[in-house]
Amino acid sequence: MTRLRILRPLALLAGILLCSGAFATEQPNIVFFTADDLNHDSVGCYGCPIKDLTPNLDRLAGEGMRFQYAYSTVAVCQPVREIMHSGLYPHRSGAMGFFPLKPEVRTLNQQLHDAGYLISMFGKNPHYQPAESFCVDVAETQISRSPAGLAEATKRFLDMAREQKKPFFHHVNCTDPHRPFIGASGPDDLAHGDPPSRRVTPDEVTDVPGFLENLPDIRKELACYYTNVRRLDDCIGAVLKVIKEEGLEKNTIVMFYGGDHGMSFPFAKSNDYENSSRGALILRWPGVIKPGGVDRDHIVSTIDFTPTLLDAAKLPPIPGIDGRSFLPALRGEKMPGWDHVFTFYNQSSGRDWLLMRCIRTKDRSYIWNAWSDGKKEYKAENMSGLTWKAMLKAGETDPVIKERCDFYLHRVPEEFYDLTGDPCERRNLIGDPEHQQEIAKLRTELLDLMQRTGDPLAEAFAHRDKPDILTAAKQKLIDEYDGPSDAQTRKTGAAERKNPAAPAAGRPLIEFVPPEAIVATEPVTVRIRHHFAEADGEQSITVTMNTGKDKVRLDRTILKASGAGEVEAVLAVPAAQSGKSVRFAAFVGEDFKKTPQFIQSAELPVR
């Protein structure tokens, strides 16, 4: 999407009205922050091992309340973000991977828009699809790693809300601490953002997360990760400062979730483990939420965000959704029946079906790995960078680490953990005779949820001893979601879009801005400049990364854009391409046969 510039012709008058209280609205304003790939315990108030790393988030928690047990329904970017805004499990909403919501799915943004809210979206915009379901009035796509940029854009957005006398929903999606990490490619590497207010050194990383191994290269990469966490905190602080300076704290709900799932390391993001799904959830609402509170009684989930925010704004609920409002908990009330949560995983960003289902309580977890058959190997973006390579290298001489790596690659069909003595889920007790009764109970509860909500894997889970049923269910998913692009458009019900006119001479509709470097196992960001006429409306851009020689597809994504501007495609570079080459290709639309323009890059080397 293109950055919008907001004019402020009545700024002086608006300032007077604000000071006199004329900007006050009956409904609360909402500021919703998300982080990207943040482990919950990377925040100071959640036990971060790096002292004073997140002063702004810690201050926010002191002014509001934090939830000790909050979980992401799916531990990967686009699906969980669409779940946050729909309140539906992925198999009910269409968010089974990097796919748009079904057209009939109602969103939080649509409810707020219809109630008169002005809506922003700063960052991660392509992960909220289809765009028409999110009713964005002001979009920013290039500043989500820039504290100063976010502050300036926030001020412009608040001025617009003031001029229109509207309550606002300010949605700030910070890209940190998603890879790439600051300093990963050298001391001058700022990972596509502004300098952080502090850098963490490997010497400060003395407490490695328990699901990882204490190895030098892992500590080195964690230092880079924690530096990104610091910049995330800088971004939060910059926006909150503007809210305070504008005098809007009193009537504004501030909600932070980080998340959007666990850190991009093995045994975290893109799985169903505790450190895949558990998040840091902090809310501040003066006059409603008692400062300094900690909720340890309830287990909440991203599926509950939409009903809770609508309840807080006194707006009608969306009928038939799966999530529930935890507004009573914000008031300090006890709510029965909030003692477990369900999490899912379906398709990775690389379009690999790695089907998982999980039920967890505060101290127990049961995971069904439908993909694990003893042959298939797990592969995801969390294995890029130094950490996974360090684990593999250490496994050459350490049999314990080798076993850990082999387990990660293949898993087993079922896992069960007692988190009271194993908080990082390293001892699978699925075969322990002492736990069979509670395992059976968790299986029953998970099956009930799957059947009740129409999970396409419900029958396969009920008949785990019949692999043919699972094979058929997997194939049905592939046929539904991975078919030809024009068939996919029909299945998702995407609205028909006007095809743009063919590019005029010397003015292409789309053009590549090649990446500076491409590194195997690390995500690569490809920028695409677009030049659409305003009358063309929103357009799709299909982007593919292929092998350089024989042009075999490696990864693919679909972006949305309108007008003139720039969008980014993040693609996964496989380890097998190290020392080889890739090409990027893109075309306007989702049906190659109907595209007005196709472009292809030169062959580019991979380090």
Which run of H or E residues covers position 112?
helix 108-114
Q: Given this model, what pLDDT does residue 39 score? A: 98
Helix/strand/coil for 529: strand
Q: What is the DSSP letter of 383?
A: G
Do the strands 118-122 and 138-140 form a parallel or antiparallel pair, or are they unpaired?
A: parallel
Residue found under tokens 């412009």: 156
Provide the phi-psi class of 521: left if phi over 0, else alpha when psi is between -120 and 50, else beta.
left
Do the strands 138-140 and 341-347 form a parallel or antiparallel pair, or are they unpaired?
A: unpaired
Rounded to 5°, angle at Cα 210 from 209 and 211: 95
Residue 153 dihedral angles phi and psi, to the nearest 5°: -70, -35
Residue 183 half-sphere exposure, CB side, CA atoms within 13 Å?
A: 20
Determine if the peptide bond prior to 130 is cis (ω within 30°). yes
Q: Give the Cβ contact number of residue 377 at 10 Å.
A: 11
Provide the phi-psi class of 390: left if phi over 0, else alpha when psi is between -120 and 50, else beta.
alpha
Which run of H or E residues covers position 312?
helix 305-312
> Which token pair is 158?
């608040």
Inter-residue contact 253 to 284 (CB < 8 Å): yes
> Which token pair is 181?
């990490």
Strand order across the beta sheet in which 364-369 lies: 341-347, 353-360, 364-369, 414-418
pTM (2 d.p.): 0.80
C-alpha distance from residue 528 to each of 6, 150, 553 (Å):
24, 22, 19
Domain ranges of the chain: 27-68+86-249, 345-372+411-491, 510-605
Question: 2.60.40.10, 3.20.190.10, 3.30.420.40, 2.40.50.140: which CATH number matches 510-605?
Answer: 2.60.40.10
**Dist. CA 393–CA 398, nearest whole Å:** 9
Q: Read out DSSP for 195-263?
A: PPS----GGG--S--TTS---HHHHHHHHHHHHHHHHHHHHHHHHHHHHHHTT-STTEEEEEEE-SSS-
**Dist. CA 307–CA 85, nearest whole Å:** 9
Rg from Cα positions in the chain: 23
Q: Given this model, what pLDDT does residue 502 score? A: 55
CB within 8 A of 27, min separation 6: which ones?
115, 116, 117, 167, 313, 314, 315
**Dist. CA 8–CA 531, nearest whole Å:** 26
Per the DSSP assignment, residues forming a β-bridge with 180 are none
Residue 521 half-sphere exposure, CB side, CA atoms within 13 Å?
A: 15
- Shortest CA distance to 70 belongs to which of 350, 260, 250? 260
Alpha-carbon 290 to chain mean position:
29
**pLDDT < 70 stretches in the chain:** 1-25, 483-507
Residue found under tokens 């305003």: 534
**Dist. CA 492–CA 188, nearest whole Å:** 44
CATH code of the domain occupying 27-68+86-249: 3.40.720.10
Q: Given this model, what pLDDT does residue 507 score? A: 59
Inter-residue contact 255 to 31 (CB < 8 Å): yes
Inter-residue contact 573 to 545 (CB < 8 Å): yes
The runs of H, that is alpha helices, within 136-197 are 147-164
> Which token pair is 298?
């309830």
CB-neighbour burial class of residue 286 (10 A; exposed 0-12, middle 13-18, buried 19+): middle
Q: Is 3.40.50.1980 the CATH classification of the domain at 345-372+411-491?
A: no
Which run of H or E residues covers position 361?
none
> Which token pair is 96?
């089974």
C-alpha distance from residue 449 to each of 27, 73, 335, 340 (Å):
35, 13, 20, 12
Domain 345-372+411-491 and domain 510-605 have a common topology: no
**Dist. CA 232–CA 371, nearest whole Å:** 34
